Structure 1
Amino acid sequence: MKHNFTITLILVGIFFVSQLLGLFIVSKYVTGVFINPETGEIENVTYKSLPLDMQRPAVEASQSYLYILGAVLIGTILVLLIVKFRGLKLWKAWFFLSVGLCLTIAFAAFVNQFIAIMLGAVFAALKIYKPNVFLHNFTEVFIYGGLAAIFVPIMNIFAIVVLLILISIYDIIAVWQSKHMITMAKFQTESKVFAGLSIPYSVPAQTKHGGKKAEKDSAVPTKKRIKQESKNAILGGGDIGFPLLFAGVVMKTTPFGKVIIIPAAVSIALFLLLYFAQKDKFYPAMPFLSIGCFIGYGLLLLL
């Protein structure tokens, strides 16, 4: 296993919750559903505007994957430049704006947009300057719902399927070939400003045990102890966001209750990946999660 069983269950559990909450946030932006009276199928869904009248990208639904893929590639290049020149302040500023925007959109599904803006800004600032495991993962659970509320309305099934395939290929290249995804993940982890779930393994042994155990551990070199203390189980933001986009697009033509099959299937795929993966090795998650999306969609169609 890549992580111990408890950590694996926690990571998969939070992932599943983020998918369900994300779908719920998207559903809160729905203003109208047109159902064909003859077939009883959902044919069209309309969505309300984003907070402060922010505009969604004006693209054709069938070509929206090109826009999103282009944004991912441009974002990757910018992050790699920040990593190369160690632009930590620039990274934090970018992270603050991105997180604040997504949280604002997510919170606006439940509260007044001005309250949502304040909450988004406060949580984004705390996430960067007063980080802790609970705050970090709490905000991550909401962030991708906000992101989905932007992009789900402009996509269709064709676009999201193509996007998942292309992103999966890109993920394989980025992790196993160029390895720049690993470089970015390490930079984010070291800067303590990470986009994605992060679950610490445990509290250092000397804080849990007294006496002889603490005395014994004190002989371990400081560098080694720090490395052990900071070990986290992580899951990148894209690995949360793209499956959510898929489920959100499917929800355009399928009731919320049935769409839950997709997050369930993807969560099982994530669990199997973590269960069979080797410790301390990096794996591209998107190919496995995309397969989970397609299996879930297939099961949904059979119902």
Structure 2
Amino acid sequence: MKHNIKIIAILLTMFLVSQLIGIFIIGIYSPQVSQVIDDEGNLLNVTSYNLPYGMEPPEGVSPAGTLISIAIAIAIAVVVILLLMKFKVELFLRLWFFAVVTLALAISLNAIFFKFQLPSAAIIAIAIALPLAFIKIFKRNIIVHNITELAIYPGIAAIFVPLLNIWTVVLLLILISIYDMYAVWKAGFMQKMAQYHIEKLRLFPGFFLPTLGKKQKAMMKDAKTSPSKAKKLKDKKIKVNVAILGGGDVVFPMILAGVVLNTLGLLPALIIVAGATAALATLFYYSKKGKSYPAMPFITIGSLIALGIAFLI
């Protein structure tokens, strides 16, 4: 195994909890159909999603069109990030992440406040999301980072779920898996992007767990009991290992679970979550130290097997 059991358990727990939060948030934003009478006296069905901040899905956009738009947007985003990495515009990228994190957090928080009929839910949600996003992006608190990650991806998924159907999401997962394999195993730029995010931007879009080896832990323990060793330790660079799970590995199976929730119901959506989690656990178990693995192909396989089971129920 690439990581010890404790680290794997924490990553899997965060993944699972985030998926369950995603189902809860997406369920709150599920489409509500109401009937209204137009000026000519005709009875019309109107679908609303209650998404705040102008994020309601546009009318007349097909799932296939949305899939193409998402694929193009991802390609452009990757190219832009790779270019910005060369020009070293870290502040711009931090501001970009700050805006995305704030919006995603606010959408998730708004769903909870909306569920409990809290007045001015959208305003309160954005007021809470702003300082959390600031701490996450600019202050580097590992606890705030991982806790907010649990709510960020449900907010992002809630935006895309209404725009897709099951088959377009399946195709999206397959395309993302192919991209992930190429980026990690062939081109290698995924590792460079992760390293750039951690070392230069000092943030990572995904779950992030820094860990110390036995030697480093012993040095830290000695430093606590010996002032002289503590002084020497300040002048040394301590190697810190990191266990990470990218945000895409979390949000894409969540989008599938959300679409299944709106189409087939809660139990099939939970089956998708179980399949994705089991696939991720399998990857963690068989992964080897010193090697990089694209998680999406494994998660996609688990999700598609789960989808087949869901259709049989």
How far has the Cα of 1:50 moved from its partner? 2.0
Which range is displaced more, 286-295 or 56-65?
56-65
How far has the Cα of 1:216 moved from its partner? 11
Residue 207 of structure 1 aligns with which residue? 220
Cα deviation, 1:143-202, whole Å, max 9, x if unaligned, reads 111111100001001110111111111111111111111111111111221100011224
Q: Does 1:176 align with 2:185?
A: yes
Return closer, same or farther for 1:76/1:266 CA change in 2, 3 Å cut-off. same
The 8 Å contact of residues 49 and 56 in structure 2, kept in 1 or not, is answered as: no
For the residue of structure 2 that corresponds to 1:168, the secondary structure is helix
Q: Does 1:23 align with 2:45?
A: no
Cα distance in 2 between the residues matched to 1:151 and 1:83: 27
The 8 Å contact of residues 30 and 262 in structure 2, kept in 1 or not, is answered as: no
Counterpart AA for 2:189: H
How far has the Cα of 1:255 moved from its partner? 2.0
Residue 105 of structure 2 aligns with which residue? 103
Counterpart AA for 1:179: G
Return closer, same or farther for 1:272/1:45 CA change in 2, 3 Å cut-off. farther
Counterpart AA for 1:54: M
Which range is displaced more, 117-126 or 146-155?
117-126
Residue identity (%): 41
For the residue of structure 1 that corresponds to 2:285, the secondary structure is helix
How far has the Cα of 1:217 moved from its partner? 11
Return closer, same or farther for 1:168/1:123 CA change in 2, 3 Å cut-off. same
Cα distance in 2 between the residues matched to 1:131 and 1:48: 34
Residue 39 of structure 1 aligns with which residue? none
Residue 52 of structure 2 aligns with which residue? 51
Cα distance in 2 between the residues matched to 1:164 and 1:109: 26
Return closer, same or farther for 1:208/1:85 CA change in 2, 3 Å cut-off. same
Cα distance in 2 between the residues matched to 1:176 and 1:156: 30
Return closer, same or farther for 1:72/1:61 CA change in 2, 3 Å cut-off. same
Q: Does 1:73 align with 2:82?
A: no
Return closer, same or farther for 1:46/1:149 CA change in 2, 3 Å cut-off. farther
Counterpart AA for 1:222: K
Residue 305 of structure 2 aligns with which residue? 295
The 8 Å contact of residues 18 and 144 in structure 1, kept in 2 or not, is answered as: yes
Which range is displaced more, 274-283 or 143-152?
274-283
Cα distance in 2 between the residues matched to 1:216 and 1:32: 61
The 8 Å contact of residues 27 and 262 in structure 2, kept in 1 or not, is answered as: no
Name the larger-Rg structure.
2
Structure 1: state its 5+ residue gaps.
35-43
For the residue of structure 2 that corresponds to 1:232, the secondary structure is strand
Residue 90 of structure 1 aligns with which residue? 92
Structure 2: state its 5+ residue gaps.
35-44, 114-120
The 8 Å contact of residues 169 and 287 in structure 1, kept in 2 or not, is answered as: yes
For the residue of structure 2 that corresponds to 1:222, the secondary structure is coil
Which range is displaced more, 53-62 or 250-259?
53-62
The 8 Å contact of residues 45 and 252 in structure 1, kept in 2 or not, is answered as: no
Moved over 4 A (4+): 44-47, 209-212, 214-221
1:118-133 equivalent positions in 2, closer than 5 A? 118-133=127-142
Residue 41 of structure 1 aligns with which residue? none
Residue 8 of structure 2 aligns with which residue? 8
Q: Does 1:258 align with 2:268?
A: yes
Residue 37 of structure 1 aligns with which residue? none
Residue 40 of structure 2 aligns with which residue? none
Residue 236 of structure 2 aligns with which residue? 222
How far has the Cα of 1:56 moved from its partner? 2.9
Cα deviation, 1:245-280, whole Å, max 9, x if unaligned, reads 111111122222332111111111111111111112
How far has the Cα of 1:120 moved from its partner? 1.6
Which range is displaced more, 122-131 or 237-246?
122-131
Return closer, same or farther for 1:241/1:216 CA change in 2, 3 Å cut-off. same
The 8 Å contact of residues 260 and 268 in structure 2, kept in 1 or not, is answered as: no
The 8 Å contact of residues 196 and 237 in structure 1, kept in 2 or not, is answered as: yes
Residue 38 of structure 1 aligns with which residue? none
1:118-197 equivalent positions in 2, closer than 5 A? 118-190=127-199, 191-197=201-207
Residue 41 of structure 2 aligns with which residue? none
The 8 Å contact of residues 64 and 168 in structure 2, kept in 1 or not, is answered as: yes
Cα deviation, 1:55-104, whole Å, max 9, x if unaligned, reads 43552113321111111111111111111111110110100011111111
